[in-house]
Amino acid sequence: MTDYNFAYLDEQTKRMIRRAILKGLAIPGYQVPFASREMPMPYGWGTGGVQVSAATLTPEDVFKVIDQGADDTTNAVSIRKFFQATAGVDTTEETEEATVIQTRHRIPEAPLNEDQILVYQVPIPEPLRFLEPRETETRKMHSLEEYGLMHVKLYEDIARHGAIATAYAYPVKVEGRYVMDPSPIPKFDNPKMTMPAIQLFGAGREQRIYALPPYTKVVSLDFEDYPFEASKADHSCELCGADDSYLDEVIVDDQGGRIFVCSDTAYCAARQAAQSDAAAAQYEEISA
Amino acid sequence: MLVTATSTSAMQGGFNNVPTEAARQFRAIMNAIARPGRIETLGGATPPAPMSVAAGVIVLTLCDPDTGLHLAGDHDTPDIRAWVQFHTGAPFVPAENANFAIGRWEALSPLTIYAHGTPEYPDRSATLIIEMDALSTDGAILTGPGIEDSASLSLPEIEALKTNALLFPLGLDFFFCADTRLASLPRTTKVTEGGAI
């Protein structure tokens, strides 16, 4: 740990990121440019989230990292180890125990509280980028609040597919002003974004930071006759039986067999543990 | 500039352990701006009078050679200049070029002289650090992002802050400091006169 400055980044870089975070919180949904640094991992591996976490972590924090909901995938494990080594923070897999949670593409199932901070890894922060490739133009569109193009895109979804087919990175409007990319979380998670915790978004390659203060109004774009719907696979979890959590489809053999399991591994594991405890207690009761 | 003999005390009063202390203090500052009206307690810096501990902590945590700092009114003293220069290296600039400005409300007014950002870059706006005699959670009523229902905060003036909120997404962001206490008012917060205190 003594080989690095606390949380890896130098102090001047952290100050620059911290100033960007504060302006982001003051202008919810607006993408603040920042001078993203080279990190000891490739772009696309969460360098934006890592830099935001580095500028946010304190020695007392308990840090959790999830990748598509899972604590045990490569990206999550390596980022967790990175901050264990460079910041000396405690880490956890349990959502309730964590004070800072870095996430790739999911919001945990367990509701977050006021003392928690959720840091998102963002690949493309600009919601209009696939509609308008020029940064000069998208910047002007945001300044003029000119979001008609996004509604046309959603309308074309309906015209072609009969419904809004956008299933992840579903655009939201923040406090009635900025259209924001919620990062590629499934649209199932969109309604959770009005929450008591602070949400910070970091895009390393694209050099943008944005933020949502607690209880900020976040509304998924839709039409009166085609209202937004937070959808998930129409199954329950094969492992814990949950029917209210977001599910991953898992192929289990080469015969077309498939199961659906919770994408939030901590949520699923806690439910399974509770069930086996309950079963054990029941067994003891019967055998007593 | 060399540290002069009169300002050897300028070297005192910084963070003991900069990386960890700055991280902890930043958390409190971030919580304040994310939850307008909430009062946080800062510590770890002892700036020369009349600068408050809270204002000193903000300077140490956020200012460096990249940020222009404006010292207004009774805060523009050789001692404060020497202290800020030694600990942060922030250049001193006139109000219109400032990223951060520190002083009492009267000294910092009028607000129109500070950078309010541009429609395409609303983040290029000044942050005002306002020294107060006291800070309490009564007075003006605050609503907006970061506030579940409503919050209250003692503000030096209401009209100017109402106008500031109307400029959104442009505008200024405010930190109010009294001794070790800090509260914040970002441009998103809507301010109305409070009822009976």
Q: How many residues does chain B have?
A: 197
Q: Quote the CA–CA distance of A24 and A117 in Å, as a whole number.
A: 14
Closest CA to B56 of B43, B38, B40, B72: B43
- Give the pLDDT confidence score for residue B8 in this predicted structure: 65
Q: Quote the CA–CA distance of B70 and A114 in Å, as a whole number.
A: 34
Output the tens digit of pLDDT for each of chain B's 197 residues.
454 545 568 899 999 999 999 999 999 999 999 999 999 999 999 999 999 999 999 999 999 999 999 999 999 999 999 999 999 999 999 999 999 999 999 999 999 999 999 999 999 999 999 999 999 999 999 999 999 999 999 999 999 999 999 999 999 999 999 999 999 999 999 999 876 44
- Give the pLDDT confidence score for residue B196 in this predicted structure: 46
Whether A58 and B148 lie within 8 Å, measured CB to CB? no
Tokens of B182: 């800090």
Contact between residue B182 and residue B54 where contact means Cβ atoms under 8 Å apart = yes
Closest CA to B85 of B67, B73, B98: B67
What are residue B184's DSSP bridge partners? B175
Q: Using DSSP, state whether A35 is helix, strand or coil.
A: coil
Written as one string, the DSSP assignment of B137-195 is S-SEEEESTT-SS-EEE--S-SHHHHHHHHTTTS--EEEEEETTEEEEE-TT-EEE---
Which residue from A minimizes the CA distance to B65?
A: A12
Q: Quote the CA–CA distance of A106 and A120 in Å, as a whole number.
A: 9
A chain contacts of residue B30, beta-carbon cutoff 8 Å: 18, 21-22, 25, 56, 198
Residues in chain B whose Cβ is within 8 Å of chain A: 18-20, 22-24, 26-27, 29-31, 33-35, 61-67, 99, 118-123, 125, 127, 144-148, 168-169, 173, 186-188
Q: Quote the CA–CA distance of B37 and B155 in Å, as a whole number.
A: 10
Is A102 buried (19+), middle (13-18) or exposed (0-12) by CB count in 10 A? buried
Q: Using DSSP, state whether A228 is helix, strand or coil.
A: coil
CA angle, B42 then A59 then B61, to 5°: 40
**CB-closest option in A26, A196, A217 to B173:** A26
Closest CA to A66 of A275, A268, A283, A249: A268
Residue A3 at interface with chain B, using a CB cutoff of 8 Å: no
Q: How many residues does chain A have?
A: 288
Which residue from B minimizes the CA distance to A10?
A: B19
Interstrand relation of A90-91 and A62-67 (parallel, antiparallel or unpaired): parallel
Handedness of CA B14, A116, A174, B137 (dihedral sign): negative
Contact between residue A249 and residue A258 where contact means Cβ atoms under 8 Å apart = yes
**CB-closest option in A19, A24, A175 to B62:** A19
- Give the pLDDT confidence score for residue A103 in this predicted structure: 97
- Give the pLDDT confidence score for residue B10 in this predicted structure: 87
Q: Quote the CA–CA distance of A25 and A199 in Å, as a whole number.
A: 9
Whether A55 and B187 lie within 8 Å, measured CB to CB? no
B chain contacts of residue A177, beta-carbon cutoff 8 Å: 168-169
Q: Quote the CA–CA distance of B153 and B143 in Å, as a whole number.
A: 11
Output the tens digit of pLDDT for each of chain A's 288 residues.
467 899 999 999 999 999 999 999 999 999 999 999 999 999 889 999 999 999 999 999 999 999 999 999 999 999 999 999 999 999 999 999 999 999 999 999 999 999 999 999 999 999 999 999 999 999 999 999 999 999 999 999 999 999 999 999 999 999 999 999 999 999 999 999 999 999 999 999 999 999 999 999 999 999 999 999 998 899 999 999 999 999 999 999 999 999 999 999 999 999 999 999 999 988 888 887
Q: Using DSSP, state whether B78 is helix, strand or coil.
A: helix
Contact between residue A43 and residue A204 where contact means Cβ atoms under 8 Å apart = yes
CB atoms near residue A97 (< 10 Å): 13
The residue type found at B52 is: S
Contact between residue A183 and residue A122 where contact means Cβ atoms under 8 Å apart = yes
B-contacting residues in A 246-265 (Cβ below 8 Å): none
Q: Quote the CA–CA distance of A104 and A68 in Å, as a whole number.
A: 6
- Give the pLDDT confidence score for residue A2 in this predicted structure: 61
- Give the pLDDT confidence score for residue A287 in this predicted structure: 81
Half-sphere exposure of B142 (CA within 13 A, CB side): 28
Q: Using DSSP, state whether A224 is helix, strand or coil.
A: coil
**A6 min Cα distance to partner chain B (Å):** 6
**Which residues lie below 8 Å from residue A207, measured CB to CB, with a gap of 6+?**
A33, A34, A35, A36
**B166 min Cα distance to partner chain A (Å):** 13
First to last CA, chain A: 53
Contact between residue A131 and residue A147 where contact means Cβ atoms under 8 Å apart = no
Contact between residue A87 and residue A57 where contact means Cβ atoms under 8 Å apart = yes
Q: Quick one: which H or E segment has residue A50?
A: helix A47-56
In the block, residue with structure tokens 């309950």? A278
B chain contacts of residue A59, beta-carbon cutoff 8 Å: 20, 23-24
Q: Quote the CA–CA distance of A264 and A251 in Å, as a whole number.
A: 18
* Torsion, CA A30, CA A194, CA A237, CA A286, rounded to 10: 150
Whether B146 and A215 lie within 8 Å, measured CB to CB? yes
Contact between residue A100 and residue A115 where contact means Cβ atoms under 8 Å apart = no
- Give the pLDDT confidence score for residue B6 in this predicted structure: 53
Contact between residue A234 and residue A250 where contact means Cβ atoms under 8 Å apart = no
A72 φ/ψ angles, rounded to the nearest 5 degrees = -110, 20
**B40 min Cα distance to partner chain A (Å):** 13
Catalytic residues of A: 29, 237, 240, 262, 268
